[in-house]
Amino acid sequence: MVSSAYIHIPFCKNICSYCDFCKMFYKKDWVDKYLIALTNEIKDRYHNESLKTIYVGGGTPSCLDNIQLEYLLKLINHLNIKNLEEFTIECNLNDITEEFLSLLQAYHVNRISIGIQSFNPDKLKLLNRFHTYKEAEEKIALCHKYNLNNINLDLIYGVGNETLKDLKEDLKLFLKLKPNHISTYSLIIEDNTFLKVKNQEPISDELDYNMYEYICKKLKSKGYNHYEISNFALDGYESKHNLVYWHNEEYYGFGLGASGYIEDTRYENTKNLTKYLSNDYGKNITLLGKKEKMDNELMLGFRLLKGINIKNFEEKYQEKIENNYPIDPLLKNKDLIKKKGYIFINPSKLYIMNEILIKMI
């Protein structure tokens, strides 16, 4: 049963040098047309299921002007959201104003995710982002004024010539802001990004590992639950929407380039704006067999530190995990641990999770 929806807003007023998501520069007339096409897609595809989580991502959803933003929020409020538990919108610090927050409050947004990434001036320059710690402090205080108290901050590490000392300074400032949730990402030089074009070199594997280890230990010492490989939350503030993905549950994906998973089918919408505006949404559709669904269950579920509920897996697929995957040797060499009805990757080996999954699948 579908109970979640992701909505993609592909427009940005500034293109970050590392971003390979579906995005383009903001143009008012493009956005106006896009919102109409988005409305049409939702009318065509949505079957009035009761939604528990909604996530509006991008791009930069907060770059919409107030009329466009209200149009989007009204569209969402016409969905079946009487049982809505979490309504997240991504935003940039620069876009957070009293008017913006007032709109979010009026339309029941209860979680915001702010793409800060860093406060280090050299990192920010390389990432093509522009803000200061003082601005972050002021804008987050403004969020609290409007009772938007469930706040995620994004942190990118391993950027350019960043040292472990630089990261420690960055993380210290993030913690001073007292967010409920922190998402951390090691910089990956993706194709079709400015950093790739500039031949930016990644940091060494050793430094990347040391940075990851430091983040895990530091955030744990400050009371954050490391519940997913890259995500940390205070008690009760885990991302309910992202848990849908990691539990391999079904969800809608609306908008340009959005992905969804419904009735054993994974799909990805077109990234061609012209096609999308003419109501030609689809691009790739993949019907999954039982083995593919089980593979996805493992690849996604093992991202969670709690791992996979063995009983739930067996009830869902009428199969035992150990009959389909080489679990026993991985338990023997302590790549995996089985405990209290769950099977999970050894926390000391999370950094090499992909290598473990390759052995398994």
- Residue-level pLDDT at 19: 67
Residue 329 covered by a domain: no
Residue 37 covered by a domain: yes
**pLDDT grade for 200, boundaries at 50, 70 and 90:** confident
The total domain count for the chain is 1
Residue 236 CA to residue 210 CA, distance in Å, equals: 28
Residue 141 covered by a domain: yes
CATH number at 199 reads 3.20.20.70
In this structure, is the dihedral angle defined by the CA atoms of residues 78, 80, 81 and 85, taken in order, positive or negative?
Answer: negative
Residue 253 covered by a domain: no
Please provide the average confidence, as pLDDT, over all residues in the chain. 94
Residue 257 covered by a domain: no
Q: Which of 32-36, 199-203, 222-226, 312-316 has the lowest mean pLDDT?
A: 199-203
Residue 254 covered by a domain: no
List the beta bridge partners of residue 182. Answer: 153, 232
pLDDT at 22 over 90: no
Residue 87 covered by a domain: yes
The model carries a pTM of 0.95
Across 41-52, average pLDDT: 97
Q: 351: closest CA among 327, 328, 335?
A: 335
- Residue-level pLDDT at 195: 75
Residue 323 CA to residue 320 CA, distance in Å, equals: 5
Across 48-58, average pLDDT: 97
Residue 157 CA to residue 225 CA, distance in Å, equals: 19
Residue 109 covered by a domain: yes
More confident residue, 152 or 20: 152
State which residues form the domain around 197: 4-245
pLDDT at 114 over 80: yes
Crossing angle between the packed helical segments 28-45 and 66-77, to the nearest 10 degrees? 0
Residue 23 CA to residue 9 CA, distance in Å, equals: 8
List pLDDT tens digits, range 204-253. 999 999 999 999 999 999 999 999 999 999 999 999 999 999 999 999 99
List pLDDT tens digits, range 330-351. 999 999 999 999 999 999 999 9
List pLDDT tens digits, range 276-297. 999 999 878 999 999 999 999 9
- Residue-level pLDDT at 196: 74
What amino acid occupies position 199?
A: N
